[in-house]
Amino acid sequence: MTSDFLLALAQAITKGLLTGMVYGLMALGLSVIFGVMRVVNFAHGEMMVVGMYLAWMGFDYLNLSPVLSLPLIAALFFAAGYVLQRGLISPFIGRPEHQQFLLLLAVAILLVNGCLAIAGPDSRGVQMESQFDSYELGPLVFDAVRLHAALIAVAIAVLLWLFFTRTRTGKSIRAAADNHMGALVVGLDVRRLYAFTFGVGAACVGAAGALMITIIPVTPFLAAEYTLLAFVIVIVGGLGSMTGALLGGLLIGVSEAVAGLLVQPSLKSMVSFGLLILVLLLRPQGLFGKSNP
Amino acid sequence: MTGLVRRLVGAAAPRTVWSLGVLLVLLLAAPAVLGKYWLSVLILVLYFAYVGQAWNILMGFAGQLSLGHALYAGLGGYIAAGLFFHYGIGPWAGLFAAVASAALAGAIVGYLGFRFSLAGVYFALLTIAFSEFTRIAFDHWPWAGGSGGLFLKVEAGTDIANLRGGAVLFYYVILALAVGAFLLCRALLESRLGRYWLAIREDAEAAQAVGVPVLRCKMIAIVISAGLTALAGVWNAFYYNNLFPETAFAMGRSIEITLAPIIGGLGTLFGPIVGAVVLTGLGEAFTDLGDALGIPGIKQIFYGFALLVIVMYRPAGVWPWLAAKLGFSERQS
Residues of chain B numbered 137-176 and touching chain A (CB < 8 Å): 137, 139-140, 147
Tens digit of pLDDT for each residue in A40-91? Answer: 899 999 999 999 999 999 999 998 999 999 999 999 999 999 999 999 999 9
Which one of B64, B71, B121 makes the best mutation probe of the A interface by having the most chain A beta carbons within 10 Å? B121
- Per the model's pLDDT, the better-predicted residue between B7 and B302 turns out to be B302
Could you tell me which residues come within 8 angstroms of residue B189 by beta carbon, excluding any fewer than 6 positions away?
A: B61, B269, B333
Per-residue model confidence as pLDDT tens digits over B114-140:
988 788 888 999 999 999 999 999 999
Q: What pLDDT, on a 0 to 100 scale, did the predictor assign at position B2?
A: 58
From chain A, the residues in CB contact with B130 under 8 A are 277
Query: pLDDT-derived band of residue B207, with 50, 70 and 90 as boundaries?
Result: very high
Which of B130, B252, B307 lies nearest to residue A106, judging by beta carbons? Answer: B307
Give the pLDDT band (50/70/90) at residue B154. Answer: confident
Mean pLDDT computed over B251-263: 94
pLDDT computed for residue B327 by the predictor: 78
Q: Which of B116, B136, B266 is opposite residue A281, by nearest beta carbon? A: B116
Is A106 in contact with B300 (Cβ distance < 8 A)?
no
pTM, two decimal places: 0.91
Q: At A134, is the secondary structure helix, strand, or coil? A: strand
A135/A147 Cα distance (integer angstroms): 9
Judged against a pLDDT cut of 80, whether residue B206 lies above it is answered with yes
Cβ distance B301 to A277 less than 8 Å, yes or no, reads no
Chain A residue numbers with beta carbons less than 8 Å from the beta carbon of B271 are none
Contact B97/A at CB under 8 A: no
SS3 of residue B206 by DSSP: helix
CA of B49 vs chain A CAs: smallest distance (Å): 18
Nearest to A106 among B137, B266, B311 (CB): B311
Chains A, B: CB contacts within 8 A come to: 118
Distance CA A91, CA B2 (A): 50
* Chosen from A107, A270, A283 to mutate, greatest number of chain B CBs within 10 A: A270
What is the reported pLDDT for B329? 65
Q: Residue B4 pLDDT more than 80?
A: no
Q: Residue B35 — left, alpha, or beta (φ > 0 → left; ψ -120 to 50 → alpha)?
A: beta
Give contacts of B116 with chain A, Cβ < 8 Å: 280-282, 284
CA distance B331 to chain A (A): 21
Cα distances (Å, whole numbers) of residue A144 to A124, A130, A133, B21:
20, 6, 5, 70
Interchain proximity A106–B251, CB inside 8 Å:
no
pLDDT single digits (tens) B65-81:
999 999 999 999 999 99
Mean pLDDT of chain B: 90
B211 touches chain A (CB under 8 A): no
The complex's ipTM works out to: 0.89
Cα separation, B60 vs B111, in Å, equals: 19
Confidence band of B9 (pLDDT split at 50, 70, 90): low
Give pLDDT tens digits for B208-218. Answer: 999 999 999 99
The band of B310, judged by pLDDT with boundaries at 50, 70 and 90, is very high
Nearest CA in chain B to A40: B121
Q: Which residues 109-148 on chain A approach chain B with CB closer than 8 angstroms? A: 109-110, 112-117, 120-121
Q: Give contacts of B305 with chain A, Cβ < 8 Å.
A: 106, 110
Question: DSSP E strands: which ranges in chain A?
Answer: 134-137, 140-143
Record: contact A116-B297, CB cut-off 8 A: yes
In chain A, domain spans: 2-32+41-227
Distance from CA of B99 to the nearest CA of A (A): 24
- CA-closest candidate to residue B282, choices B266, B299, B296: B299
B67/A101 CB distance under 8 A = yes
- Residues of A numbered 19-48 whose beta carbons fall under 8 angstroms of chain B's beta carbons: which are they? 40
Which residue ranges form the domains of chain B, and what is each CATH number?
A: 34-326 (1.10.3470)
Q: Does B251 touch chain A (CB under 8 A)?
A: yes
- Reduce the DSSP state of residue A137 to 3 states and report it: strand
Task: Decide if B202 contacts A96 (C-beta within 8 A).
Answer: no
pLDDT at B96: 96
B221 touches B62 (CB < 8 A): yes
CA distance A113 to chain B (A): 5
The band of B333, judged by pLDDT with boundaries at 50, 70 and 90, is very low
pLDDT in tens, chain A (293 residues): 578 888 889 999 999 999 999 999 999 999 999 988 888 899 999 999 999 999 999 999 998 999 999 999 999 999 999 999 999 999 998 888 899 999 999 999 999 999 999 998 899 998 887 777 888 888 888 888 899 999 999 999 999 999 999 999 999 999 888 888 888 888 888 899 999 999 999 999 999 999 999 999 999 989 999 999 999 999 999 887 888 999 999 999 999 889 888 888 778 888 889 889 999 888 888 888 765 43
Neighbour count for residue A57 (Cβ, 10 Å): 16
Lowest mean pLDDT among A25-29, B14-18, B202-206, B257-261: B14-18
User: What HEC string does A243-277 produce?
Assistant: HHHHHHHHHHHHHHHHHHHHCCHHHHHHHHHHHHH
